Amino acid sequence: MTATATLSSKFQISIPKAVREEQHWQAGQEFVFIPKGKGVLLMPVLELEQLAGIARDACTDGYRDRKDRY
């Protein structure tokens, strides 16, 4: 999907409806901007409940403990 938006004179951007619907974004939702090269990654800030179990199947091989640091 390709969608465009224009930055207003008040430095605001409206997220196209197709993008909002595909991502299930709602009014009032909080976002974080992550710089990536010459662009920016827009990610919703997750609620604590949404993070439960996120690392359940994470591989812990090669994990560095604080003792390994200089």
State the pTM of this model. Answer: 0.62
- Pick left, alpha or beta for residue 48 (phi over 0 → left; psi -120 to 50 → alpha; otherwise beta): alpha
In terms of DSSP bridges, do strands 39-44 and 31-36 run parallel, antiparallel, or are they unpaired?
Answer: antiparallel
| pLDDT in 10s for each residue of the chain, 70 residues | 688 999 999 999 999 999 999 999 999 999 999 999 999 999 999 888 878 888 888 887 777 777 766 6
Q: Tell me what pLDDT residue 15 has.
A: 94
Q: Tell me what pLDDT residue 68 has.
A: 64
Q: What are the structural domain ranges in the chain? A: 13-46
Alpha helices, DSSP H, located in 1-70: 17-23, 48-51
Three-class DSSP category at 40: strand
Alpha carbon distance 2, 65 (integer Å): 43
